Amino acid sequence: MTDKLYEHIDAHTTLIDCRLYRPQLAACYLIADGDELALIDCGTRHSVPQILEAIAATGARPEQVRWIIPTHVHLDHAGGAGVLMQHCPNATLVTHPRGVPHLVDPSKLQAGATAVYGEAAFARDFGALEPVPEARTLAATDGERLALGGRELLFVHTPGHANHHGCILDTTSGYLFTGDTFGLGYRELAQPSPFLVATTTPVAFDPDAWLSTLERLLALDPQAVCLTHYGCYPHPAALAPMLRESIEAHRRIALEEEPRGEAGRDQRLREAVGQLLVETAEAHTGLSRETVHEVLAGDIALNAQGLAIWLARRAKRRASS
């Protein structure tokens, strides 16, 4: 673990620790070119002070932020957008067209998250969501190109983890900012080499779309992937097979569960996902079962919930066909 709030990846790119739950769990990224800045993802309301500190550390000011770009509207990626836009008066918020309405009017996001986490935990971990003025938003088309100083940022629609997900390629550095689309890659488990697993967080897991998305991203020939969870990893083509297998393994768990009755399903899915993630991480890292379980406990629960929702969607489609 580290107490560093930010670290420079290169002269133009800075990783900022959003400090959600623990250090090195959630990041956002600051890109600087000339007199202009862009932020990819923005953490929660509680992340805003360290984002502003990181901007100041580069010698820049919030007024220089041109783009704030959540990869999608899950709260660990976009919960701080409304507050951050207030601090960055010249910024435009850019995200997937399906995500923009939820940031202009975040009442449904807040109500849903409060119902899941409870009011006290929601306030502690995320804080109240502030609306983004609609006039300051841009619903990014697939392939949208955003100028930033002398470089260009490419926004690509990337369904699979969420149907409103987008990834951003810095065409100058070759860095691909992947949100959750290139999986989870916690640094505690990146030994002796990066360890990636899928995140099937509710509610839009789509394994076929996700596998197609991965092929599309690799065709962009990125030099590195910058994960929200967590860090920048080179040689993404070499890492992709590990993520593909994780997506397929989660699909297999769900399909093996599908013929069984719904009674006890949540517990069975949690046990199966826990076994998959813990045993895979244990074998990769050589760390103890207890250590890897501590790192992955939250994701085990969320991935299991996401698979249950995927099975429910499949059942609903069958019933209506």
Per-residue model confidence (pLDDT) at position 261? 87
User: Quick check: 228 pLDDT over 80?
Assistant: yes
Residues 6 or more apart whose CB falls under 8 angstroms from that of 174 comprise 221, 222, 223, 224
* 93 and 203 both lie in a single domain: yes
Specify the number of domains making up the chain.
Answer: 2
Q: Does some domain include residue 171?
A: yes
- Rounded Cα distance, 148 and 151, in Å: 5
Cα–Cα distances in angstroms (integers) from residue 260 to residues 264, 266, 273, 309, in the given order? 9, 12, 16, 15
* 145 and 278 both lie in a single domain: no
* 34 and 107 both lie in a single domain: yes
Give the 3-state secondary structure of residue 293.
helix
User: Quick check: 305 pLDDT over 80?
Assistant: yes
User: Quick check: 118 pLDDT over 90?
Assistant: no
Per-residue pLDDT band at 3 (split at 50, 70, 90): low
Residues 149-195: tens digit of each pLDDT:
999 999 999 999 999 999 999 999 999 999 999 999 999 999 899 99
Residues 1 and 278: beta-carbon distance below 8 Å: no
* 269 and 298 both lie in a single domain: yes
Q: Identity (one letter) of the amino acid at 33?
A: D
Q: Does some domain include residue 156?
A: yes
DSSP-assigned beta bridge partners for residue 153: 146, 170
User: Quick check: 207 pLDDT over 90?
Assistant: yes
Per-residue model confidence (pLDDT) at position 188? 94
* 100 and 143 both lie in a single domain: yes
75-81 average pLDDT score:
96
Query: For residue 296, what are its two tokens?
Result: 């992955």
Q: Does some domain include residue 49?
A: yes
- Rounded Cα distance, 215 and 240, in Å: 9
Mean pLDDT of the chain: 95
Query: For residue 106, what are its two tokens?
Result: 């975040």
Residues 21-53: tens digit of each pLDDT:
999 999 999 999 999 999 999 999 999 999 999
Other beta carbons within 10 Å of 232: 20
Q: Going by DSSP bridges, is the β-strand pair 224-227/175-179 parallel, antiparallel, or unpaired?
A: parallel
Residues 135-155: tens digit of each pLDDT:
999 999 999 999 999 999 999
- Rounded Cα distance, 159 and 17, in Å: 25
Q: Does some domain include residue 1?
A: no
Q: Percent of the chain at pLDDT above 90?
A: 92
* 254 and 151 both lie in a single domain: no
301-308 average pLDDT score:
95
Per-residue model confidence (pLDDT) at position 117? 82
Residues 261-281: tens digit of each pLDDT:
899 999 999 999 999 999 999
Q: What is the CATH number of the domain that holds 114?
A: 3.60.15.10
Which residues of 241-285 form beta strands (DSSP E)?
Answer: none
Residues 57-67: tens digit of each pLDDT:
999 999 999 99
- Where a domain ends, among 237, 267, 300? 237
94-108 average pLDDT score:
97
∠ CA 205-220-68, nearest 5°, is: 65
- Where a domain ends, among 237, 272, 305? 237
User: Quick check: 2 pLDDT over 50?
Assistant: no
Per-residue model confidence (pLDDT) at position 113? 85
* 165 and 294 both lie in a single domain: no
217-225 average pLDDT score:
98
Residues 6 or more apart whose CB falls under 8 angstroms from that of 76 comprise 18, 20, 26, 43, 44, 228, 229
Q: Does some domain include residue 197?
A: yes
- Rounded Cα distance, 290 and 278, in Å: 9
Residues 6 or more apart whose CB falls under 8 angstroms from that of 300 comprise 270, 273, 274, 277, 278, 293
62-79 average pLDDT score:
97
* 90 and 223 both lie in a single domain: yes
287-303 average pLDDT score:
96
Per-residue model confidence (pLDDT) at position 4? 79
Q: Does some domain include residue 213?
A: yes
Give the 3-state secondary structure of residue 89.
coil
- Rounded Cα distance, 189 and 205, in Å: 24
* Residue corresponding to tokens 């580290």: 2
DSSP-assigned beta bridge partners for residue 95: 139
Per-residue model confidence (pLDDT) at position 105? 97
Q: Does some domain include residue 231?
A: yes
Query: For residue 228, what are its two tokens?
Result: 């929200």
Other beta carbons within 10 Å of 272: 21
Per-residue model confidence (pLDDT) at position 241? 98
Q: Does some domain include residue 218?
A: yes
How many helical (H) and strand (E) elements, i.e. helices and strands, does the chain have?
10, 13
Other beta carbons within 10 Å of 203: 14
* 53 and 72 both lie in a single domain: yes
* 231 and 250 both lie in a single domain: no
* 82 and 217 both lie in a single domain: yes
- Where a domain ends, among 213, 237, 261? 237
Question: Nearest 5°: phi and psi at 283?
Answer: -70, -35
Give the 3-state secondary structure of residue 290.
helix
Domain carrying residue 253:
243-320
User: Quick check: 291 pLDDT over 50?
Assistant: yes
* 154 and 249 both lie in a single domain: no
From the list 227, 85, 110, the residue with the least C-alpha distance to 161 is: 227
User: Quick check: 1 pLDDT over 60?
Assistant: no
